[in-house]
């Protein structure tokens, strides 16, 4: 019965996907509902191509090798065993519509984190690096082998982030927000007022492209509530350093200011001159004409695809349980038939003996 319901639900999902397909509009649209930063200057914002160029300058890095592979082979690279589970690099999975914020966020994370490879599952991490029987790194396979084959031997360590292992944000989302920003409570001073100069949370100032906006893990969590929430947590953004310092009583997990102030964590300050990070987030599109029906349709399709995958997994599990139940039933049946045969033989012998006893004269 359970298996029948699962199969029926799977068919219903495909039917809904088919109907939605007629109303699905192709194209990429971006929302402009991010927290606003005054006096934006888009003339110096870098494009995604410029970000890729910055990454490629790190020739012997894992990120540089992956970028060169994608640049040379395009979509074919995503089908390789080595890279099919790689979602991208931190620097390419988010965008920022303010040059100053892009520099601040990149400096806060650091180059190593900006170049971190983001994998969907643990299987993707295993494909990037292999070891021999002695437990030593095998430099002829994985990313090391790929780097050596293109003349870019991979040196040193590199970060890899596994999305399915991250603890996701557990709260609510901003209502009716196409970007699915996190509904984080604004900081409050002891007098109950929001500190002056507070502009928002860094995690909500990252723009996620529509191509990645509806990506979800097996648990149904998206990039903002997994990757970017773990990178930025509740990092607060202020207009000036002075306003940030005044807000110290309500800064729980770090803060940055547009004039270069940075608090890594409560009581830990980053002083001195700004560090110029050569890998930054690219700019987000300035377009904001996102049809609401497009967003809702794409969201429904993504959710139904995920639900379909879960139902298929449930179907496989139910089939395995069914096959196991059939096997156990056949074994019990054979044992029962054998028991009946033995019982019947014993009863026949008992009746024959009883008859002989009655016929035997005493």
Any idea which of 46-50, 158-162, 284-288 has the lowest mean pLDDT? 284-288
Per-residue pLDDT for 102 more than 60?
Answer: yes
Q: Report the 10 Å Cβ neighbour count for 31.
A: 21
Count the residues in the chain.
Answer: 362
* Contact assessment for residue 35 and residue 199, using Cβ atoms and an 8 Å cutoff: yes
- Beta carbons within 8 Å of 145's beta carbon, 6+ residues apart: 138, 139
pLDDT at 100 over 50: yes
| Residue 28: predicted pLDDT | 37
**303-339 per-position pLDDT tens digit:** 676 567 657 767 877 888 888 888 888 888 888 888 8
Those residues whose C-beta lies under 8 Å from the C-beta of residue 215, and which sit 6 or more positions away, are: 87, 222, 223, 302
Torsion sign, CA atoms 289, 291, 292, 296: negative
Burial of 67 (0-12, 13-18, 19+ CB in 10 A): buried
Three-state SS for 227? helix
Asked if residues 221 and 212 have their Cβ atoms less than 8 Å apart, the reply is no
Q: Which residue has the higher pLDDT, 282 or 354?
A: 282
User: Locate tokens 């806060």: which residue?
Assistant: 108
Crossing angle of helices 62-73 and 48-56, in 10° steps, is 120
Range name among 1-10, 80-89, 235-244 with the lowest pLDDT average: 1-10
Weakest mean pLDDT among 20-24, 48-52, 326-330: 20-24
Asked whether residue 163 carries a pLDDT value surpassing 80, the answer given is: yes
> What's the average model confidence in pLDDT over 146-175?
86
Average pLDDT, the chain: 77
pLDDT of 90 strictly over 60: yes
**Residue bearing the bigger pLDDT, 100 or 255:** 255
Separation of CA 168 from chain center:
9
Q: Which residues of 269-307 are buried (b: 16+ CB within 10 A; e: fewer)?
A: eeeeeeeebebbbbbbeeeeebeeebbebbeebbebebe
pLDDT value of position 283:
78
């Amino acid at each position: 019965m359970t298996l029948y319901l699962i199969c029926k639900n799977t068919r219903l999902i495909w039917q809904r996907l088919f109907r939605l397909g007629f109303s699905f509009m192709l194209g990429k649209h971006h929302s402009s509902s991010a927290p606003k930063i005054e006096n934006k200057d888009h003339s110096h914002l870098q494009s995604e191509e410029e970000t890729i160029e910055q990454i490629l300058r790190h020739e012997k890095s894992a990120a540089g090798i992956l970028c060169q592979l994608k640049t040379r082979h395009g979509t074919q690279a995503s089908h390789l065993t080595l890279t099919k589970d790689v979602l991208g690099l931190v620097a390419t999975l988010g965008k920022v519509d303010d040059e100053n914020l892009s520099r601040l966020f990149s400096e806060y994370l650091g180059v190593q984190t900006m170049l971190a490879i983001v994998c969907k599952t643990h299987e993707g991490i295993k494909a990037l690096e292999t070891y021999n029987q002695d437990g030593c790194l095998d430099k002829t396979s994985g990313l090391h082998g790929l780097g050596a084959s293109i003349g870019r031997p991979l040196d040193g360590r590199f970060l890899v982030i596994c999305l399915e292992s991250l603890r996701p944000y557990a709260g609510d989302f901003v209502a009716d927000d196409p970007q699915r920003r996190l509904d984080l409570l604004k900081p409050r001073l002891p007098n109950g007022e929001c500190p002056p100069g507070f502009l928002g949370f860094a995690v909500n100032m990252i723009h996620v492209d529509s191509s990645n906006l509806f990506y979800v893990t097996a648990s149904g969590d998206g990039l903002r509530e997994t990757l970017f929430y773990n990178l930025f947590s509740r990092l607060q953004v202020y207009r000036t350093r002075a306003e940030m310092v005044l807000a110290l009583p309500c800064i729980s997990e770090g803060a940055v200011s547009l004039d270069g102030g940075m608090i890594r964590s409560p009581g830990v300050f980053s002083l001195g001159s700004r560090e110029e990070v050569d890998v930054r987030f690219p700019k987000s599109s300035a377009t904001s004409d996102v049809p609401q029906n497009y967003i809702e349709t794409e969201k429904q399709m993504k959710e139904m695809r995920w639900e379909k995958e879960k139902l298929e997994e449930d179907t496989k599990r139910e089939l395995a349980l069914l096959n196991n139940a059939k096997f156990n039933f056949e074994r019990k049946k054979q044992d029962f038939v054998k028991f009946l045969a033995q019982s019947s033989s014993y009863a026949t012998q008992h009746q024959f003996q009883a008859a002989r006893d009655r016929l035997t004269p005493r």
